[in-house]
Structure 1
Amino acid sequence: MAPGIDILVNCAGGVGATAFIEAVKKATRYWWEFTELVENLGGEIELLESVCGSMEVQVINAGANSRVPGEDIVLQLKNAATLLKKAKDQEMKAKASSDCCNGAFPNLICRCIVGRKTEKMTNKMKELKDYLQQKLDFAHRSSLRAMSLPQDFIFFDSIEKARDEIITALKDDTKLKIGLFGMGGCGKSSMLKIVHKEAQDRELFEKIAFVEVSDPPNILDIQQAIASWIDLNFETEMDKHARAARLSMTLEKDKSYLIILDNVWRMLKFDEIGIPSRKNCKVLLSTRHKDKCTLMDCQKVIPVPHLTKDEAWELFQQRAGAITEEVKNQAEEVIVDYCRGLPVAIRAVASTLKGKRDYAMMEALTQLKHHTLWDANSEEEYNPYKCLKFSFEELKIEKEKSLYLLCALFPNDAELTLETLIRFAFGLGIFQDVDSYQSARRTIPTVIDKFKDSCLLLQEKGQHVKLHDMFRAVALSEANEKTRVLTEPSQNLKDLDGKQYFKETTRLYYHGTFDFPHRLNSPELEILYMSNDNGYLSKFPATLFEEITKLKVLAIKDTSGFTRPALLFPQSFERLEELRTLCLNGWRIDNMSCFEKLKMLHSMELSSCEVKELPEATLKKLKLLEVSCCIIGANPYEVLARCSQLKELYFVKNSVPNMVPNDQNVATFIQQLASYQVLQRKQSKV
């Protein structure tokens, strides 16, 4: 008996007419809904292929992190491949059966048979798709891609020639390390961004990492940055040696990699970072000095050319706008003799002159010619620095200069968040007429935008900005020892005990071992930013803070990332009666009772800290509180629910291991937040 007849015979074999009719209805449904069944099969094929694709990406990423997927996942992916092949064959058969009997009339029995098989195949695929979806740990993140250059960027002939030379070297299998050199402000970073996008668009490498190297270089930061670009997760590797081993294992795989290292100030040992010397893994770096390229064994060394006279003038006109003939001759002289073809200097001068009347522009150019500056390394560097100082001194409002000098407090190439600048500037009271964070969030971003429009600050990704190292040198010179940045291992604070070195200092950034003198002899100090990355306990001398009673902003950070060392506050900490902003990051803090003595404290940030409990007495006088990524011993919700005076609250990604937040805890907390009439900004994730 034919299979199609079997369906109807089985239906007729029922014990009653009703059962027979129902069976016939069920069978004929395959014929009646045939087109929909075929469409459903096609839809499930697409969905299963999509889930399998995501799962395969997850398996690949797991392999990059030396993780092996479970046997069940491997088996089900094989089953999915087999099922997809069968489903596509079934789909073809179903479409072919649409016109059986030469299209004159669809064959009832044929469609019933094919329709039933199509539905069974669709259900199998749906079950497998649902199973694999449950096994997906996370939604797949797209790999990072090169940032686009500004729309007004001009590709001059000199730039294109250098770019082509770099691309040619990247294609040469004998060139594993390529060095780019040129003086500050000549466009090395822009060139690397151009090459990054070009190599990505041409698919010259499967993975490309772009890393901005700090001075002094932080190996852990470099390793983490590379990992982010190549989709590698450091799960158990916390110190630089373990990370170097994991990174090297990944980069030695069959994929092709390009590691771009921008702004290298000192010699790097690539094996310490975890960058292997292999044909599949190339390094492209930029530095100011040619000899650094030689020391790091670059097989190809390429200079970044300065702009030609015509190119420099075109860039100047683009930035400054229309220039009259009366001004043109004097402006051309400045661009040629002082800016020396450096884009950073040309943009700075042009932005400063933009919008001025002719007489004001002529006067400004005359002043620039007669500027004096500290000793530069050479005459070649001297004139461009004069241009940058000229732009800086066009900031006529003292509080704007003060905010700009605050940007210079951080190390070379540091990416500054707008939020950090707002909190620090408000804590320092730079803008005396700004008496609330709400007002600060209007005023300070407006001034930051002015800096960016004048090319005094560089816009980075998101809400980040950066100070070009040449502008930073100008700003620190202008600060005249009132702003000090100590990042060298040799610059140990303890060696300065009893000296007059910090007598006039008002702003101090220190990164290094927390080995302090008995007291900081800085009676005018207003902001102190201390950080280290060694993960050791930090105990301050009892009298450390006795002489810095004018301190308004204090930040103490451990950036090791793999431990939370204990932070012990000395008795002299209570003498900081003018302290307004306190930022603590990466510490275990067992006792915060001393915070109650800080009478003027209005802003506190606890990030990646471990605390026994939130200091309620201190919190009740704050305007701004941030608690993020912290481990908290006692119930924080009850404490926060009683802090009704807060105007800004950020409580995000915290862990309370000793309690399970029940509905009542969270409900009370959320209810209280909603009732705070003065609360202006909040972010909570409980």
Structure 2
Amino acid sequence: MVENFVLHIVKKIGEYLAATVGRQFGYLIFYDRDIKNLEEQVQKLEDKRFRVQKSVKEAETKRETIAPDVERWLTLVNKLIEEATKFLEDEENANIGCLNGWCPNLKSRYSLSRKVTEKTESVEKLLGEGDFSRVSYPAVAPTVGTTFAFTRGFKGFESRRLTMNGIIEALTDDSIYVIGICGMGGVGKTTMVKEVAKKAEEKKMFDKIVMVVVSQNPDLINIQGEMAKILGFELSGGNNLFAKAGELGSRILKAGRILVILDDVWKRLELNDIGIPFGDNHKGCKIVMTSRNEDVCNGMDTQKNFKVGVLHEEEAWNLLKEMAGISDEGTSHPTNLQLMQMAVAKECGGLLIAIVIVERALRCKNKYSWDSALEQFRKSVVKNISGVDEKMFISLELSYDSLDRDEAKKCFLLCSLFPEDFDISTEDLVRYAIRIELFERVDSVHQTRNRVHSLVVDLKKCYLLMESEDAEWIKMHDVVRDVAISIASRKKHSIVVRCDEVLKEWPEKD
């Protein structure tokens, strides 16, 4: 009996030792398989993170409160994905050979294989925790409208200050309820109207402030939905435009004093079809709209229009000096470089975006680059684009040509595939970049993701892309998009075509 007991103990010890030794050898034998499994699990986690972030973004648009466990999960996921991505990039070190590469470095491989197993377990754990029944909870709607993400760099130029004061004064006039802001593309209408909203919010002129982008091909049901989200509720009625209009209108009537901002209007809109009561129907509702065409404003029965013109020559030069860090020293007797810089500022035609983009393209460049830019302004013959000034086109093309990497140019043109004023997910860019083989010598998803994020940062620094409300999303200014499409059509980039609908399918591979 004692003998059987001893044999049983010995057997258990043997099984334990065998399992332990087997596990240790497994770290060496199944290394490549484990690396591939980790890559697959990380990709699954990235996909799940993308879906959760999308739900979070939708909830934030409704002004809802994000659940604490969701926020904690996203924080942990972001950290783990970053660690795993770096680990996979460094994984090649495990293959450092001995005997001139004829055998693997067993010690390094053993150590890394254990880490692979640990990382995989952590990833799988977060994958299991990422199934949320809900990501947010309704929040009390703000007392005064919504919080606006204002464009940085709004300058108190005299030409702008007078227009701003005029708009604010018109908003206080009880007899005026529809106001138009007109000007060519890129002159700063959206910046102006956001500052108007900011001033109105500070002065507590309205109980609610709602701003929506209309664009060239307006989706009225989507506009209704965006307005409802900002006001803190959801519309019923399915795809019935008029049912939604009735519901939205009744809610607006109960909202008290309300400012509705319609940005980038291209043609007459029937406000009643959307559900925006105004005038005798709702004396507390004021409407401000922006358009490239003053006739569109007049067609919307605006009672007062304000034109946002170009900057004065001195204002343009002062802006360029400030942004580029050009010294005032010696301007009474300017150098050849300063003379060229003054001439470039003048050639920008007082267009705010043109000045900003040109400055970014020529920052820290020598006099030859400035001279080349000046020559390009003076000699360029460009295709006419409706509502886009020739100077704006040249400025954007100059910035495009100055991009160091061909990949950056392709990524920029790829962004123009998305509809006007569209929030572009960087994760969508990653997927399209993979499908059209945007990058050479890239053989993994995480490498593609890193390259895309790097290019997006570079393009934002050049002001060719803009930040969206969410860090994982970007936008392209409508004027920039128009020019990008024109550049693509002239320079025969086959991956870019004009698109007025949301991309839903993978682009076909040639």
TM-score if structure 2 supplies the norm length? 0.66
Identify which of 450, 455, 461 aligns with 2:463.
455
Change (3 A) 1:414 1:482: farther
Equivalent position of 2:481 in the other structure? 472
Q: Residue 215 of structure 2 aligns to a residue in which SS? A: coil
Question: Does structure 1 residue 321 correspond to structure 2 residue 325?
Answer: yes
Find the partner of 2:360 among 351, 355, 359: 351
Corresponding residue to 1:374 among 377, 380, 383: 383
Which residue in the other structure is 1:260 paired with?
261
Q: Which moved more, 1:166-175 or 1:431-440?
A: 431-440
**Aligned with 1:416 (options 420, 424, 434):** 424
Distance 1:376 1:139 in 2: 44
Higher normalized contact order (CA 8 Å, seq sep 6+, divided by chain length)? 2
Provide the rounded CA distance (Å) in 2 between the counterparts of 1:429 and 1:385: 29
CA contact (8 A) 1:181 1:286 kept: yes
User: Identity of counterpart residues, as a percentage?
Assistant: 30
The structural deviation recorded for 1:506 is 4.1
In structure 2, distance between residues paired with 1:189 and 1:468:
10
Structure showing the higher helix proportion among its residues: 2
> After superposition, where does 1:566-585 map in structure 2 within 5 Å?
none
Query: Structure 1 residues 298 and 192, CA, compared in 2 at 3 Å: closer, same or farther?
Result: same
Q: Which residue number corresponds to residue 163 of structure 1?
A: 164
1:675-686 to 2 correspondences below 5 Å: none
Match runs of 1:626-665 below 5 Å: none
Residue 265 of structure 2 aligns to a residue whose secondary structure is: coil
Matches within 5 A, 1:34-113: none
After superposition, give the CA deviation of every residue in 1:130-151 in whole Å (9 maximum; x if it has no partner). Answer: xxxxxxx955245363324355
3-state SS in 2 of match to 1:554: coil
Maintained 8 Å contact 1:482/1:505 = no
Please report how far the alpha carbon of residue 368 of structure 1 lies from its aligned counterpart in structure 2 after TM superposition.
3.4
1:176 corresponds to which residue?
177
How big is the shift at 1:195? 0.7
Cα distance change, pair 196–424 in 1 and its aligned pair in 2 (3 A) = same
Contact in 1 for aligned 2:215/2:263 (Cα 8 Å): no
* Aligned position for 2:35: none
2:345 alignment counterpart: 335
Q: Distance in 1 between matches of 2:496 and 2:187?
A: 30
Report the 3-state secondary structure (helix = DSSP H, G, I; strand = E; otherwise coil) of the residue aligned with 1:406: helix
Aligned partners of 1:248, 1:240: CA distance in 2, in Å?
A: 12
1:444 lines up with 2:430 in the alignment: no
Question: 1:140 maps to what in 2?
Answer: 139
Q: How many Å apart are 1:242 and its aligned residue?
A: 1.1
Provide the residue aligned with 2:506 in structure 1: 554
Q: 2:289 aligns with which of 271, 285, 290?
A: 285
Distance 2:369 2:294 in 1: 41
Q: Which residue is 1:39 aligned to?
A: none
1:198 alignment counterpart: 199
Per-residue deviation at 1:434?
2.4
Mark the CA change 1:365 to 1:508 in structure 2 (over 3 Å): closer, same or farther: closer
Q: Is the 2:419–2:500 contact (alpha carbons within 8 Å) kept by the matching residues of 1?
A: no
Map of 1:224 onto structure 2: 225
- What's 1:360 paired with? 369
What code does the residue aligned with 2:266 have? W
Distance change >3 Å, CA 326–CA 142, structure 1 → 2: farther
Amino acid at match of 2:166: E
Q: Contact 2:170 / 2:176 at 8 angstroms: preserved in 1?
A: yes
Alpha-carbon distance, 1:261 to partner: 0.6
Q: C-alpha deviations, 1:14-48, integer Å up to 9, x for none?
A: xxxxxxxxxxxxxxxxxxxxxxxxxxxxxxxxxxx
Q: Contact 2:377/2:391 (CA < 8 Å) preserved in 1?
A: no
* Equivalence map 1:583-602=2 (5 Å): none
Asked if 2 retains the 8 angstrom alpha-carbon contact of 1:416 and 1:464, the reply is: yes
**Aligned partners of 2:430 and 2:449 also within 8 Å:** yes
What is the aligned-residue RMSD (CA, Å)?
A: 2.6
How many angstroms does 1:269 deviate by? 0.7
Matched, 1:247 2:248: yes
Q: For 1:244 and 1:139, locate their aligned partners in 2 and report how far apart those are by CA, in whole Å.
A: 23
After TM superposition, give the deviation of residue 530 of structure 1 in Å.
5.5
In 2: Cα distance, 1:367 partner to 1:481 partner = 17
Q: Residues 300 and 315 from structure 1, CA distance in 2 versus in 1: closer, same or farther, beyond 3 angstroms?
A: same
**C-alpha distance in 2, partners of 1:402/1:191?**
31
Which runs of structure 1 show a deviation greater than 6 angstroms over 4 or more consecutive aligned residues? none
Deviations 1:481-510 (A, max 9, x none): 788xxxxxxxxxxxxxxxxxxxx9544465
**Residue in 1 aligned with 2:433?**
425
Structure having the higher Rg:
1
Tell me the secondary structure at the aligned position of residue 286 of structure 2: strand
Do residues 269 (structure 1) and 270 (structure 2) align? yes
| 2:26 equivalent in structure 1 | none
CA offset digits 1:320-368 (Å, max 9, x no partner): 22267322222222222x2111101111111111011233333333333
Counterparts of 1:221 and 1:151, CA distance in 2 = 27
1:490 aligns with none
Partner AA of 1:332 in structure 2: M
- Deviation of residue 221 (structure 1)? 1.2
CA contact (8 A) 1:317 1:350 kept: no
Question: What residue in structure 2 maps to residue 300 of structure 1?
Answer: 304
Whether the 8 Å contact between 2:178 and 2:287 is mirrored in structure 1 is yes
Structure 1, residues 41-79: CA drift from partner, whole Å, max 9, x if none? xxxxxxxxxxxxxxxxxxxx9xxxxxxxxxxxxxxxxxx
The CA distance in 2 between the partners of 1:157 and 1:410, in whole Å, is 36
Cα distance change, pair 151–244 in 1 and its aligned pair in 2 (3 A): closer
**Runs of 5+ unmatched residues, structure 1:** 1-60, 62-136, 484-503, 513-528, 532-552, 556-575, 580-686
Does 1:207 pair with 2:203? Answer: no
- Name 1:37's counterpart in structure 2: none
Superposed displacement of residue 479, structure 1: 1.3
d(CA) in 1 for partners of 2:503 and 2:155?
41
Contact 1:146 1:193 (C-alpha < 8 Å) held by counterparts: no
Classify 1:138/1:468 alpha carbon distance in 2 versus 1 (closer, same or farther; 3 Å).
closer
Q: Aligned in 2, Cα 1:377/1:222: closer, same or farther, shift over 3 Å?
A: closer
Evaluate the alpha carbon distance shift between residue 368 and residue 207 of structure 1 in structure 2; reply closer, same or farther with a 3 A threshold.
Answer: same
TM-score with structure 1 setting the length:
0.50
Deviations 1:658-679 (A, max 9, x none): xxxxxxxxxxxxxxxxxxxxxx
Superimposed CA distance per residue, residues 452-480 of structure 1 (whole angstroms, 9 cap, x where no aligned partner): 11111122211322222222222111212
- 1: CA distance between counterparts of 2:306 and 2:448? 46
